[in-house]
Each structure stands twice: as C-alpha cells, then as structure tokens.
Amino acid sequence: MEIEFYLYSLLLIPLVAGRAMMTICGSALAAYFVKHPALLEYFEFKIDIEAAGLLTGLPEWMQTPWFIALTFILALVENMMNRSPELQDIWNMTEAKLKAVFSFIICFVLIKGDPLLLIEHLKEEGISTDFGGFFSVEYVWSFIIGSLTWLLCKIRSGVYAFLIEIDDSDSMGMRKLLGRIEGGMGIFGPLIFIILPSLALMAAGVALLIIVALRLWVKRTELKHSVACDSCQHINHLSALHCGQCERRLEHVLAVGFMGLSKRDTPMEDVQQHKLDLLRVKRCPHCAAASSEKKVDMDCGVCKKPLFASAEEVNDYLRSIRKRLAKTLVVTSIFGFIPIVGLIPGIIFYRLYLVAGLRNYVSKGSNFFIRLLLRILFIFLIIYQLTPIIGFAAIPIMALANYLLYSGSIRSQIGKVKNRQTRVAQIE
C-alpha cells in the first residue's frame, strides 16, 4: 500500500474522534469529487493523483449522492447529541468504541478489505492466522488506527465532560466553538487531502495536539481546585463548605468563580453569599459538587441534600439574580451604542453575568420554548440595533426579555419545592 494510505489513516484519528459521521460524509464527498474532477477544476483546484486514487477504493455505494446526503443527516444528529449535556452523557458510554470501529472499517475498506468476510471469519474462528492477508502490515495498521481513535475519544470525552461541568448551558460557547472546528475538519479534511495531502496531515496533527493539550489542562485544573477531606479522604471542591461524604465542616474555603472553579487567592467571606454564588454556577451549596439536572427541586448527586430546601431559598436566589439586572442593563446599553461590533460582547456579557444563573434551573422542554421566543425577538431587535442613536436599546431589551422569561420559569417551579417541603415536614 502506498504512503497515501498511511497519511489518510493518520488523518482519520482526530477527524473520526471528533465527528465520525461528518468524516465519513467528507470521505464519500471527496471520492465523489474524484469521480467528477470537473467540479474541483471549476474552482481551479488540482487533485493529487495518488491521494485521489486511494479514495476511489471506497465502494461505489459510498460515492453516491444519496449516501452523502444520508451521512450528512446523521452528522447533524451527531452534532445535536454533542451539543446536549444530557445526550452527551449517554453518548459517552459507547462513543469511543463505535468511533474506533468506524475508523478501522474505513481503513479496512481502503485496502480493498471485505468487512463482511472478516466478521464471518471472526465469528467462526476468532483471530487466527489462516485468514489470508489478515496479519499483513496494512490490516494490523488498521487495528492500530482504530485503537488510537478509541484512546483519543476517551481524552476528548474527558475534555467535554469538564466543559459541561463548568458551563452546563455553554454560555461562553466553548463547546459550540470546538464542535464547529470538529465539524469543519470532518467535512473539509478529506477534501483537502485529495488536493494537499501533507497540509491535511499537518492540520490533523495540530488538532490532535490541541485535544491532548486541553486534556492536560483539564487534569491540571481539576487537581488545583480540589482537596482531600482530612477525615475520610473524599475529594472535595476547594469551595465546598462541607465534605460530600462525611459532612465534616471544611476549613479554608475559597470563593467560587463564575465558571464554577475556585478563586485560589480569595477566601470565602460571607457564608450566605457564598451559597448563592455556588447555586449561580449550579453547584451544591453544601458540598460544591456540580449538579447534572436542570430543575429547582433536585438533590445533590454527592451529598444527597436538596439544592433548594425551601421556597424562601428559591426566592432569595432570584433576588440575588435581580440585583444584577440594573448593572446588566447599563453595560449592555453601552455596548448597544456600537452597531454590530457591540452586539456580540453585549450578548456574551448578559448571558454570563445575568442569564446563566437562571438557565441552569430551567428544564430542557421549557428552555426550548423560551429560546424559540427569544430567537424571534432577536430577529427584530438585530435590525433595530442597526438604527443610529436609538439602536442602543436593542441589547438591553434582549437581556431583560431573557431575565423575565427564565426567572418566570423558575418561579413556576416554586410550588414543587413547597410540596416537597411539606412532605419532608410530615415525615419528620
């Protein structure tokens, strides 16, 4: 097998680990362009003959428009799963194994292997030496690529799990940005390969280094913001008031930042305010563990205590958020005086400073309808924001609309907290 096979198989590792279906779609699309070179020549792109020859090894049915359309739809589904924290948790259970198989199969097909024949052989005799060519360099290399894809998927899952923990609603857009980079590489990586194979490999190498670097940063960050309990050795967040296992009152508690990480040089000052700050970043006010659900009446997954023990606590929390409203309106008004350019920083500010603490406790169903209403409003306001002088009010109106809708959704859940409080009182 020519060097192009090894180049492309190395390219597959970060591409499949990121967006498997988009990569398969991109490979099929690249093969389609090889069969119809006039499409690329129209844009004055020259096809690398050896690289193009490799992709023509894909089965005919993988080079048809209907297969490209089908894999593109599946790629959109995969993208939706990666954007949802709830679906991501489920997907992480099997993601690495499935993507490793995808990676192996693509390599296997490229060397003219028949996956069905291999499956039948493995079912009947397992891994044995009587399968012609099974232990050739190319076949073994395909297994290595699959294994490396599995390993990179595990690293990537850890990065995404950390990003979900510190920013469940993706207010900063970090997961969205990574997703778009992965999607772009998945669809365009194979196309770049048939034009500039070495450039495609370099891009894949950079992507691989970024993922590994992010994972190292995650591990280092987790270690910096956690400490073992002196009594039971349970690992607790540095901003925890009590141990999540033995409930021992912890000393040297640090303040919590807007991303849910502790402020290493800032000790906690007021206990009540500290609890509200923990709730704002969706952490338990008792043990500072991150919460996975999105509702008001829920228990901590570690210490099993309710995040909001009473309706009064919910109202206290809403009052603490309301205190941020005035500052938000002033700052977003300033951004609003800058047409277009001020729009993005204005939206980021009110989402992080005001809305993130509310969205954390709104269910997925309610959030869907709220976002739908807000997007309709956004379309009208974005046009209004372009208007000189009076356009400054567009971003504050968006901030206020977000606040009213999300805080209203939380207020509608207070009845559930009251019912729970009544049941607890009756048991006691």
- Residue 420 lies inside a defined structural domain of this protein: no
Residues 216 and 240 both lie in one domain: no
The pLDDT score that the predictor gives to residue 378 is: 80
pLDDT band at 387 (very low <50, low <70, confident <90, very high): low
Higher pLDDT, 43 or 68: 68
Residues 56 and 114 both lie in one domain: yes
Residues 286 and 327 both lie in one domain: no
pLDDT tens readout for residues 201-237 = 666 667 667 767 766 776 677 667 788 888 888 888 8
CA-to-CA distance for 253 and 264, rounded, in angstroms?
Answer: 10
- Residue 316 lies inside a defined structural domain of this protein: no
The pLDDT score that the predictor gives to residue 317 is: 93
With 90 as the cut, is the pLDDT of residue 328 above it?
yes
The pLDDT score that the predictor gives to residue 172 is: 63
Residues 96 and 176 both lie in one domain: yes
Residues 192 and 271 both lie in one domain: no
What are the two backbone dihedrals, phi and then psi, of residue 92, each rounded to the nearest 5 degrees?
A: -60, -25
The pLDDT score that the predictor gives to residue 54 is: 58
Provide mean pLDDT across the span 9-28.
Answer: 79
- Residue 373 lies inside a defined structural domain of this protein: yes
The pLDDT score that the predictor gives to residue 49 is: 45
CA-to-CA distance for 164 and 172, rounded, in angstroms?
Answer: 11
The percent of residues above 90 in pLDDT, for the chain, comes to: 11
Least confident window among 212-216, 263-267, 330-334: 212-216
Higher pLDDT, 163 or 372: 372
Residues 303 and 364 both lie in one domain: no
pLDDT band at 146 (very low <50, low <70, confident <90, very high): confident
Task: State which of 248, 276, 307 marks the end of a domain.
Answer: 307
Provide mean pLDDT across the span 139-160.
Answer: 80
The pLDDT score that the predictor gives to residue 222 is: 66
- Residue 148 lies inside a defined structural domain of this protein: yes
pLDDT band at 418 (very low <50, low <70, confident <90, very high): confident
Residues 195 and 298 both lie in one domain: no
Nearest to 217 by CA among 290, 262, 155: 155
Q: What is the distance, to the nearest Å, from the Cα of residue 212 to the centroid of all Cα atoms in its chain?
A: 16
Residues 119 and 192 both lie in one domain: yes
With 60 as the cut, is the pLDDT of residue 127 above it?
no
- Residue 213 lies inside a defined structural domain of this protein: yes
What pTM was computed for the model? 0.60
Q: What is the distance, to the nearest Å, from the Cα of residue 385 to the centroid of all Cα atoms in its chain?
A: 30
208: containing domain: 3-222
Residue with tokens 């990480």: 261
The pLDDT score that the predictor gives to residue 2 is: 58
CA-to-CA distance for 96 and 93, rounded, in angstroms?
Answer: 8
Task: State which of 222, 244, 259 marks the end of a domain.
Answer: 222
The pLDDT score that the predictor gives to residue 129 is: 44
Residues 179 and 85 both lie in one domain: yes
Provide mean pLDDT across the span 196-200.
Answer: 59
- Residue 424 lies inside a defined structural domain of this protein: no
Task: State which of 222, 239, 263 marks the end of a domain.
Answer: 222
Residues with Cβ within 8 Å of 136's Cβ and at least 6 positions away in sequence, in order, are none
Higher pLDDT, 121 or 358: 358
With 60 as the cut, is the pLDDT of residue 121 above it?
no
Higher pLDDT, 190 or 55: 190
The pLDDT score that the predictor gives to residue 128 is: 47
Residues 218 and 239 both lie in one domain: no
Q: Indicate the number of domains in the chain.
A: 3
- Residue 422 lies inside a defined structural domain of this protein: no
Mean pLDDT of the chain: 76
With 50 as the cut, is the pLDDT of residue 417 above it?
yes
Residues 278 and 262 both lie in one domain: yes
The pLDDT score that the predictor gives to residue 374 is: 85
The pLDDT score that the predictor gives to residue 112 is: 59
pLDDT band at 243 (very low <50, low <70, confident <90, very high): very high
With 80 as the cut, is the pLDDT of residue 410 above it?
yes
CA-to-CA distance for 422 and 413, rounded, in angstroms?
Answer: 15
- Residue 347 lies inside a defined structural domain of this protein: yes
Residues 403 and 254 both lie in one domain: no
pLDDT tens readout for residues 55-92 = 656 667 777 788 888 888 888 887 777 666 555 655 66
